[in-house]
Chain A
Amino acid sequence: MGLLQRLTRASFSHGIHPADHKAETRDKAIRRLPFAPRLVVPLAQHIGKPAVPLVHVGQEVLRGELIAHADGFLSVPVHAPATGVVEAIELRPTARGDKGMAIVIRVYQGDSQMIAGGVPQNLTAMTPEALIAAVQQAGLAGLGGGTFPTHAKLKIPEGFAIDTLLANGCECEPYLTTDHRVMLEQTDDLLRGVRIAMRACGAPRAIIGIEDNKLDALAKVKAAIRPGEPIEAQAVKTKYPQGAEKILLKSLLGREVPSGGQIFQTGACMLNVGTLAAIGKLLPRGEGLIERVITVAGPGVKQPGNYRVPLGTPVGFILEQLGFNGSAAEVILGGPMMGQAVASLEVPVTKGTSGLLVMNEAYLNQPQRKSHPCIKCGECVNACPMHLNPKELGLLAAKGEYEKMAELFHLNDCFECGCCSFVCPSAIPLVQQFRVAKAANRGRAA
């Protein structure tokens, strides 16, 4: 990698460079975890209306069978991740802290767990509309964590056209190596998915953006691209939050999503490489999404690595399987910058879970930083990738001026990446303040 190449690598301004903690798991091949005794499959693993159950309590289901159908356009169906019997359809704890309806399946131990219901499809004969319908039928939502229904992303509204499909292979969160392994081990699925997605959204070309700490994946992806194909794999600078949709769009194409707008308005469509690999794997077989790869890492887990787990697997089961160090932990679903700490080990892995971080006493016992008043150092202003003024936002939030934050300082453009809280030397909980402000504004508007 030449110096000139490194210096001119596509990137955005601001951002932060946290320690990446990926050495532990980046070279570990994906391994399959066994089925938990019970799988808790939420009906709402995506943005939009929850799916509607098709099964009833006591019904036997086969792995891969459709157990809940989509409710309208902005919704995706749910498939059974294992063969077993439906034990309950009831409220269960979710990662966000509230409870949501879920189908609880008691898995038949010792069953062959063959996937049923997959009808091979002839994709080349299908129109873009048919492809989009197939993507919805596969139960796909953004696997990078956004969980936006993938078919809704590919269906471009009237009056807009896509000139480039962007594949997000950045995985900028520390600890996570899921997408890295998928790019290395499912390269053909990924490319197949890119080609299908290009046809579905009408994009004449595609760019796969990969951070430059994953050059082995970049090389593998480049090798899998057929000569003459309008697909390109490009390295981008390793920086957080390079993998955020708005930020990667800026790095790769130099375009900005208008405030309050959507990415398709700029002529681009972006999908995570995990989602694209799932499209490439499931659509030809006509199967639904029933499992995903997650990175399990952190000082609290004895066997960190990348694991393929059935959707609905409770977090506690994974900890039992992989061994837990210590007696107390913060268990995070997702990455350490934007991930959610779970309040119960019964919370399951869902379509949007990219990682499971177990932060035990080694992390918890670090001295709690006392908050000082804002010393106006300006580090937050230099870090915010959206070029907001977190200092002003923080000072207004401390006074409770939530409306001013939204009207004058673009509070609603903040996507809570955490860069400002990360750099603040006074340890001011900026992101928390912004969340409170947004909730207060929503409550006032309601």
Chain B
Amino acid sequence: MAKKELQMKVTIELRTSPHLRKTHSVEKIMRNVVYALLPLCAFAVYQFGISTLALLLTVLASCLLTEALFARLGGREVSINDYSAAITGILLALTLPPGFPLWMGAVAGFVAIGLGKSLFGGLGYNLFNPALVGRAFVQAAFPVAITTWTPPFAAGRFVEFIPTTLTLPFTIPADIAAWSQQVAVDAFSGATPLALYKFEGVTTPATDLLTGSIAGSSGETSVLLILLCGAYLAARRMMDWRIPAGIIGSAAATSGLLYLIDPGSYPPPLFMLFSGGLMLGAVFMASDMVGSPVTPLGVWIYAILIGVVTIVIRNFGGLTEGVMYAILLGNAMAPLIEAATQPRAYGHLRRRARS
């Protein structure tokens, strides 16, 4: 009965709706984050020389190899080409001191990816920011090496390594205080601005902080560049601008409030904002998608929490640097924050708290 009246031959393909998709992808987002980090790497190498370059490459290689290893071990497809391990490697290297021994950098990379990401199941399943997991590990494991700073713009930084960089694996690096004084351009005290403030009461001028003529880890010292690179990502809608805005705002508000209460005991807000890893953490680490909440209100609570905790740790804690632990705390609280801030769905009167 159903005669073949249709003369043309068409092969029909079946798919389900929606039949249109936006063209962006995980790879594209990650790749653009890497592009945004490259200027920071370039500036770090310019400031501190080939040691930083060697550290960057070592940590990067360690992260990529670790991800490939664990993927192979777990029977999963090796997915280093989604650039997420590369981002972890670069960010981790940027939080380490420029003269950090290479073997310790490799350990940091291994722990960051292995413990912070692969053991949870890989991309999307990790609870904490992997770079910060690695940094927290080496902070506890190598407390002296991680607080050994070298002067920026040292003469000869492009031809010779910082002595601690090439420390033999599994050995402790030698003391380089004398070497640092020797190669420094200006008088170099070996302490970061935050340490200078906490332990000696010295406030570093904001201009020095902005242009990077201070001691610190490779990525901490270029606030302007961090803001520019972050703005690029936010403009391309690849980063949630609310997180850095919330962190910077709440950190400024908290430190401003403390400064108003007692200017003698507390540092000025601008100093707090531009020193240490706050900018790098706010723009690149806290905004890591996997560790941050997705609900509109939850994002703000998370950001404000991180800003406040950072200032509290810096002012009242024993550490000079608080943003790392603040972000890790924020990551840990993200699921709870999300559960408490589910959006009000259309047609319902109240949002319901969910577990």
Chain A residues at the B interface, C-beta cutoff of 8 Å: 16, 18, 37-38, 87-88, 90, 174, 246, 250, 256-261, 314, 316-317, 319-320, 324, 327-332, 336-346, 357, 359, 364, 369, 372-378, 381-382, 385-389, 391, 408-410, 413, 416, 418, 421-423, 425-427, 429, 431-432, 435
Contacts and interface: CB of A to CB of B under 8 A. Distances in A.
Interface in B338-355: 342-348, 352, 354
Interface string B210-251: 000000000000000000000000000000100000000000
B269 interface: no
A155 B125 CA distance: 52
A270 B344 CA distance: 24
Given A37-B5, A328-B10, A330-B13, A391 B294 contact: yes
Interface stretch (B19-27, B92-100, B197-205): B19-27
Contact of B8 (A18, A320, A409): A320
B82 A372 contact: yes
Given A423-B22, A425-B24, A324 B16 contact: no
A431 B29 contact: no
A332 B352 CA distance: 38
Contact of A336 (B7, B19, B240): B19
Contact of B25 (A341, A427, A429): A427
10 contacts: A18-B20, A246-B346, A320-B7, A331-B12, A341-B13, A357-B19, A378-B299, A386-B346, A389-B294, A410-B348
B159 interface: no
Most A CB atoms within 10 A — which of B7, B24, B82, B348? B348
A320 B6 CA distance: 8
A387 B297 CA distance: 13
Given A327-B9, A345-B6, A425 B25 contact: yes
B11 A327 contact: yes
Contact of B123 (A257, A373, A385, A389): A373
Contact of A346 (B2, B15, B121, B354): B2
Given A256-B346, A337-B18, A418-B17, A369 B25 contact: yes
A346 B22 CA distance: 32
B21 A427 contact: yes
Contacts of B7: 320
The 3 A-B pairs of least Cβ separation, nearest first, read: A418-B18, A378-B294, A373-B124
Contacts of A389: 294-295, 342-343
A250 B347 CA distance: 10
B22 A422 contact: yes
A323 to B, nearest CB: 10
Contacts of A425: 22, 24-26, 28-29
Nearest to B334: A376
Contacts of B13: 328-330, 341, 364
Contact of A337 (B17, B24, B25): B17
Most B CB atoms within 10 A — which of A257, A409, A410? A410
A404 to B, nearest CB: 9
Contacts of A410: 345, 348
Contacts of B1: 87-88, 90
Nearest to A395: B124
Contact of B345 (A359, A374, A375, A413): A413
A87 B1 CA distance: 9
Nearest to A423: B22
A11 to B, nearest CB: 14
B348 A421 contact: no
B18 A258 contact: no
A387 B5 CA distance: 48
B195 interface: no
Given A408-B354, A423-B22, 13 more contacts: A256-B346, A328-B12, A330-B14, A336-B17, A341-B17, A343-B12, A387-B345, A410-B345, A413-B347, A416-B17, A425-B22, A425-B26, A426-B124
B155 interface: no
B62 interface: no
Nearest to B299: A378
Nearest to A364: B13
A385 B346 contact: yes
A366 B179 CA distance: 59
B81 to A, nearest CB: 11
A426 B26 contact: yes
B348 A375 contact: no
Contacts of A258: 347
Nearest to A246: B346
Interface string B173-189: 00000000000000000
B20 A174 contact: yes
B292 interface: yes
Contacts of B21: 369, 421-422, 427
A409 B354 contact: yes
Nearest to A418: B18
B26 A319 contact: no
B216 to A, nearest CB: 30
A376 B10 contact: no
B17 A327 contact: no
Contacts of A256: 346-347
A234 to B, nearest CB: 21
A246 B13 CA distance: 32
Contacts of B22: 16, 18, 422-423, 425
B153 to A, nearest CB: 38
A342 B12 contact: yes
